[in-house]
Amino acid sequence: MGAEWAHVKRWLCDALCASSRPHQAARSTSRQRRDLSYGTLPISNPTTANPDRDALRNVAYLYEPYWFQNSGDWVKSLLLFFNGIALLVPDYLRDRPLLSDPALAQPLDDQGLLHRLSPDTLVDQATTEALTQLLDDLISAGAFDALDGNKAFTELSYSRLGGLADAGLTEVVLGQLRERGLALSSEDGVSVPMHPKVRALVLVVLLAVSG
């Protein structure tokens, strides 16, 4: 496991640094692609606040807590290969998936094909420790040093950062990110404005560290 994580960290560092260089920057923006990222869902230790693990064995996990209507056809195509759609939705955004695309999300929810998972319970102490350790290692390795600080920041909930499981540990990493201009202080008490690349990394690696 240690060797595997070392490889992942090196890959993340190389990928982030490379994507930050102007001559290698991708043309499409994070906003255009943010709704089109998914993976399979390795859920362990299910709680009463979330579906049973067996119901999540073959679902597509979208990294964002909701999708927009213009991504509806793409979401439908996932149902050809998966038994449902799972979203990690902070409790304060619980109804947002149904409001962002009611024509698709509501029927999926009615048929039990839309799984709204709560990071308040799924992102536990062990996941928080693994996530903050990874972020600390990447920060120390300089993986974020070349990121463009002028990018528009996007909020990420405290719960997905592990702030509800271990607020102190999460704050240590957030402090390092703020010192580097990659995160700001919370404006609403439930989320943190963050650089889009750092935010995207957190959403993606949550799959790995919670497995």
Report if residue 16 sits inside a domain: no
Report if residue 68 sits inside a domain: yes
Same domain, 72 and 58: yes
Q: Please give the sequence-ordered ranges of beta strands (E in DSSP) within the chain, or none if there are none.
A: 38-40, 60-62, 85-88, 114-117, 154-157, 191-194
Same domain, 105 and 135: no
Same domain, 103 and 132: no
pLDDT digits (tens, 9 = 90+) for 6-52: 544 554 555 444 444 333 333 333 333 334 455 544 433 333 344 45
Same domain, 113 and 38: yes
What six digits make up the tokens of 153?
């920041």
Of 78, 96, 118, the one marking the end of a domain is 118
Q: Which helix (H) or strand (E) holds 93?
A: none
Structure confidence at residue 210 as a pLDDT band (50, 70, 90): confident
Q: How many CA atoms lie within 13 A of 114 on its CB side?
A: 22
In the prediction, which pLDDT does 121 show? 87
Judge contact between 67 and 75, C-beta under 8 A. Answer: yes
Judge contact between 149 and 155, C-beta under 8 A. Answer: no
Report if residue 101 sits inside a domain: yes
Judge contact between 78 and 108, C-beta under 8 A. Answer: no
Report if residue 4 sits inside a domain: no
Identify the CATH number of the domain in which residue 147 sits.
1.10.10
Q: Which residues span the domain enclosing 205?
A: 123-209
Same domain, 194 and 178: yes
In the prediction, which pLDDT does 58 show? 85
Number of domains in the chain: 2
Report if residue 53 sits inside a domain: yes
Percent with pLDDT over 90 in the chain: 61
Interstrand relation of 154-157 and 191-194 (parallel, antiparallel or unpaired): antiparallel
Judge contact between 63 and 38, C-beta under 8 A. Answer: yes
pLDDT digits (tens, 9 = 90+) for 81-91: 999 999 999 99
Of 62, 85, 118, the one marking the end of a domain is 118
What global pTM score does this model have?
Answer: 0.75
Same domain, 130 and 204: yes
In the prediction, which pLDDT does 209 show? 83
pLDDT digits (tens, 9 = 90+) for 113-143: 999 999 988 899 999 999 999 999 999 999 9
User: Would you call 60 helix, strand, or coil by DSSP?
Assistant: strand
Same domain, 72 and 140: no
The side-by-side arrangement of strands in the sheet containing 38-40 is 38-40, 60-62, 85-88, 114-117
* pLDDT at position 172 over 90: yes
Mean of the per-residue pLDDT values for the chain?
Answer: 80
Q: Which residues contact 166 (CB under 8 A, 6 or more apart)?
A: 125, 128, 129, 132
Same domain, 146 and 109: no
